[in-house]
Amino acid sequence: MNHPDGPQLITYADRLGGGLTDLRRLLDGPLAGAFDGVHVLPYYRPFDGADAGFDPEDHTIVDPRLGTWEDIRALSERGVVMSDVIVNHVSIRSEQFRDVVEHGDDSPWAPMFLTLSSVFPDGVTEADLARIYRPRPGLPFTTMTLGGVPRLVWTTFTPEQVDIDLRSDQAWDYLVSVLDALTGAGVTMIRLDAVGYAGKEAGTDCFMTAATQAYVDRITELAHERGASVLLEIHGHYLQQVEIARTVDYVYDFALPPLVLHALHGRDLAPLARWMEVRPTNAVTVLDTHDGIGIVDVGPNDLRPGEPGLLRPEQIDALVESIHDASGGASRLATGAAASNLDLYQVNCTFYDALGRDDRRYLLARLVQLMLPGIPQVYYVGLLAGENDMELFGRTGVGRDINRAYFTPQDVQAHLERPVVACQLEALRLRSSHEAFQGEFSSEIDGTRAVLTWTAPESAVQLCFDVEDASFALAERRGAGPWRAVVSDGDLSPMAEAARLAATQR
């Protein structure tokens, strides 16, 4: 693992065959050479709370059911480790908030948490409340009793997650302790979760305010002092991402997943081509993550009416319906008001199901991701071309659980033997090792056809494809040698698989 900008795996520690030690064995074993880093989703205590670890009771402790800080350090010794700093909130069961529940304003931790009056000490108007931007319906407040007094506590996401007041010394003491724990164990990339909602200010929509930028700058400075870079997790209008990218280490390319899906469902590369002209290169590229497939990232600007998106409203409607149809209606059941823990701006579905479990189109989508500039991250469900987990969704009623399956070691092994997974791994190993990816990127798009190329002084990698029929070929050249085919659509045909199996048995 030699490339800090090479491919990274995104996974929960407990959902890919076991705990942290099992994850390391997997990366050193069947996944060897494919990933230069790993984003381990929250492994803090507890990792299985109300929001799958994003509601930590103690953000400075590894849940002992998963492992220890030494296990994180062992992962860091083999490559980049990214971890989440959950900036906006903590669990209602955290030691700090439980003390506030008991003692109210007499608690030393009281200034750390936001109530309605924290942001609006002079009172609030209907216009103030209507202006607040939230990724869920309704107002971001939950009535709780603090020290015997009913209060409106700020809860942006769920009543289980109470928001932090970053104007307080207590909040910064807390965040510094988290950064120290992570970087002390060798974590070198920090993902700021939900930070866009952390800068609440009266008279604003309370999203990505001037205060938010100041907080991001302060956390980034603290991270840099500790040898870590920072990734901002922000869903919003594409131009907002372009602006933010100029001020931080990394942003997500959240526009890419819906644009790739639009290209493959609608046989239309034009919106993706427009995005490629302006997209930031200090991006972490994804197709799927532990959350849903973002839609707001390609839509019109909710905060600046009249500013169009990368897709027109009718194209977005068609895209969402295409996903629902391709998934056999499963994504419709798991999205929006049909499921709890809903996000208004996301469709809950595995990326594999979003493309109708079509191996060829799915692999083409992954290759486009791997060819674009940035750090490619591959979600564990996507790596295994996983299908919607309707059983898990049925048990929890949480829409995003449709794409958060649990894989046993036996499940992992079975999926690794599938041609679509084997082809992804071959392409990932190329992305990790080929010197052309340290060179120059270029693209040519003509109608439904495109050529994406990386060129270094003595090497090149090229992807040619057509979204009309999802045909593609990935090839590489080193030195003065000839072009060599790496992966093509033919590698997924029954005849190609039969030939591969016959060759292994000779």
Residues tagged active-site: 193, 233
**What's 402's DSSP letter?**
G
Q: Residue 415 and residue 407: Cα distance in Å, rounded?
A: 10
Q: In Å, what is the CA distance from 148 to each residue of 103, 144, 386? A: 8, 9, 48
189-193 and 229-232 strand pairing: parallel
CB 220 within 8 A of CB 226: no
Farthest-apart Cα atoms in the chain, separation: 80
For the chain, how many residues are written? Answer: 506
Q: Residue 330 and residue 349: Cα distance in Å, rounded?
A: 8
471-478 and 484-488 strand pairing: antiparallel
Q: Which residues are CB-contacts of 234 (< 8 A; sequence separation ≥ 6)?
A: 195, 196, 208, 240, 241, 244, 251, 252
Q: Residue 173 and residue 484: Cα distance in Å, rounded?
A: 55
Q: In Å, what is the CA distance from 136 to each residue of 92, 155, 195, 336? A: 19, 11, 16, 9
